[in-house]
Amino acid sequence: MSPASQIFTAEETLDPSYLPARLVHREAELALLARRFRAALSKGLPYHCLVTGGVGSGKTALVRRLATDLDRGGRLGDLAVRSIYVNCWRRASDRTVMLDLLRLVHVSLPDRGYSLSEMLDVFEQGIRRTPQHLLILLDEAAALVRQDTKLVYLLSRSREVELGSISLVLVAAQDLFPYLDPASRSSFGVTHRLALSPYDREALTDILEERAKLAMRPGSVDRDVLEQIARIAAPNGDARFALEILAGAAHAAEDSGSDSVLAEHVRRAKGSLLPTVTEEHLGALSTNQLGVLLALSRSLKRRGASVPSQKLRAAHAALVEELGAAPMSRTTFWRTLKELERDGLVTLDAAGTGESSQVGMDELPASLLTTLLEERTGGARARKG
Ligand SMILES: Nc1ncnc2c1ncn2[C@@H]1O[C@H](COP(=O)(O)OP(=O)(O)O)[C@@H](O)[C@H]1O
Ligand SMILES: [Mg+2]
């Protein structure tokens, strides 16, 4: 077995099921929801809300954080808060969700032969025993809601149907409002809906930094490497993907005996998670494109996450000379770089313009690209430099 980890101190805190105490860049949303729930519950009124956002936008983390904070926050009005969480993915029927809810309030019922309203009666008896504000989180609720659920209606009308204080949080990727029946819609008006915007690159970098602090030894990953990961995940604003890459890169670093996570490890992790560059893809490139990519992959192998474009151009000029090929004009160099960017093979930092851009490449480990490209452009001759 390997000795104690060189990188991780608490690897489990990178697991998707781990709920961090702090959700950077979602403080405002969390505070808003907490305020609304507290205001209503302390008056003895339930409060419902619908939370939407793309994959990895932090919906599950946000509502679980909210629920845990409310659970621990003491009584509101006369009652304590008790939250229960059900992921409705693959359980998209009122009955199966209801069986989960029953189990979570410690009532067992054979899963056959009971109608929804009988189950609700039993549920009511279960929750009556301990009066409290029940906060029911229905995560990934899209399929449930689209199947003409009655449960959402019944739970959101808990007072009228004498179920006690039940608040409902629906979580889904898309807006579910159009799918709700007219009666339920009144419970999910504008002030009862929260749409999470995708994380941008900066937010993703901060999230990665926060999570790296929990999971990894101090100093084992630099901010520019986290920025590199954020840049990969930014097009979808997906924190989950970003954290997967971080974990993969940390493992790649450990496997290679490094005590810190480097750009090279990120490229390797990303390559194994989402191998978007194929040999076929490389085969379709022009000689100019190949030359620029090769210069880039060599520079990155030495320098890290990205190189300034002037440095890349110098490296490319040296490579061309080495190969005995004709030099490339500045315009052609730029056009080639832009083509590679369009094909998703390199990234040009939007912050820089023209000659001062940072050029990056995240698709594959630079070492592998170098080998593939050298084979194409003339092998040993190119390698001797
Ligand atoms: N603001 C944040 N701070 C720290 N970690 C976050 C934040 N937002 C999301 N995460 C983490 O990113 C991953 C994906 O978030 P999740 O809530 O599962 O997204 P969603 O439910 O929208 O798909 C989880 O591991 C979660 O802990
Ligand atoms: Mg989720």
Residues 6+ apart with CB under 8 A from 292: 312, 316, 333, 336, 337, 340
State pTM to two decimals: 0.74
pLDDT higher than 50, residue 288: yes
Protein residue whose Cα sits closest to atom 24 of ligand 1: 16
Residue of the nearest CA to atom 13 in ligand 1?
Answer: 240
Same domain, 140 and 50: yes
Number of domains present in the structure of the chain: 3
Counting from 1 in the atom list of ligand 1, the atom nearest the Cα of 242 is 12
| 125 shares its domain with 59 | yes
Average the pLDDT over 72-99 and give the result. Answer: 88
Note whether 265 and 296 are same-domain residues: no
Q: Across residues 213-228, what is the average pLDDT?
A: 96
Q: With bands split at pLDDT 50, 70 and 90, how would you rate the model's confidence at 38?
A: very high
Q: Which residue has the tokens 């409060």?
A: 47
Nearest atom of ligand 1 to the alpha carbon of 26: 1
Q: In 3-state terms, what secondary structure has residue 160?
A: coil
Between 368 and 323, where is the model more confident?
A: 323
150 shares its domain with 75? yes
237 by Cβ neighbours in 10 Å (0-12 / 13-18 / 19+) ranks as buried
Choose which residue among 60, 213, 214, 241 to substitute to test ligand 1 binding: the one with the highest number of ligand atoms within 8 A of its C-beta: 60
Domain assignment present for 9: no
CATH number at residue 355: 1.10.10.10
Residue 40 lies inside a defined structural domain of this protein: yes
- Give the pLDDT confidence of 99-152 residue by residue, as tens digits: 889 888 888 777 678 888 888 888 888 888 888 999 999 998 987 888 778 899
**Which of 273, 303, 336 is where one domain is finished?**
273
210: pLDDT confidence band, cut at 50, 70 and 90? very high
Q: Name every protein residue with a CB atom under 6 angstroms from any ligand 1 atom.
A: 16, 20, 23-26, 53, 55-61, 207, 210-211, 239-240, 243
Q: Which residue segment(s) compose the domain that 61 sits in?
A: 27-195
Q: How far is the CA of 315 from the centre of ligand 1 (A)?
A: 40
